[in-house]
Amino acid sequence: MNPEESVMRYADEHTSPEPPLLSRLVRETHLQTLMPRMLSGHYQGRLLGMLSQMLRPRRVLELGTFTGYSALCLAEGLAEDGELHTVEQNPELRSRVERYVREAGLQGRIHLHIGDAEQLIPKLPETWDMVFIDADKIRNHTYYELVLPRVRPGGFLLIDNVLWSGKALPDYPLKPADKDAHAVRAFNDFVQQDPRVENVLLPIRDGLLLVRKLH
């Protein structure tokens, strides 16, 4: 085990365990889906849950539901009247997500929307306290521009996979075919220069960009 893996293992071992419902969802996702690594997972999930507990958001938007793990984490800190809207493109995932939402007792508070996020975002008339973007990386910039005007001043955006297995780093030799990597790198550079926000890139798992809207 290399030093980086040792650090991550130590971090996992010194992070509160995930609730049993989430552990069951992890197991089911690994057994029944083709790309279980798309899960946020234990360490990042606990971070999402803690950020939600700190912010106590009334309205949360998630782009990229997958099997619902991160939605359940983000819902942990919802305000008493809070709701979470999550958008997933794959309709085959609906039944699993809705089943786990029911088991968590969050039906009526987590709203699943099936379809293209770019088309659905304008149809959700909310002011967001917190947005988690974990969808098509090539469209990160598009999603960002669609949601930022509707994020309240002082609200937060979280964008996942901003390291893209290290390919986002400027000294990584990208090929023209690395379209996702090119998009991630360009998006990161754009946010770094965006005067509307302040940001911190956290080297957690595949990179998590934490962004706060200023005005």
What whole-number distance in Å separates Cα of residue 166 and Cα of residue 78? 33
| pLDDT at residue number 2 | 78
Q: Are 101 and 68 in contact (CB under 8 A)?
A: yes
Mean pLDDT in runs of 10 for the chain (215 residues)?
Answer: 84 95 95 88 96 98 98 98 98 97 97 98 96 97 98 98 96 93 98 98 95 97
Structural domains in the chain, CATH included, are 3-213 (3.40.50.150)
Torsion angles phi and psi, residue 201, rounded to 5: -95, 120
Q: What is the pLDDT of residue 8?
A: 86
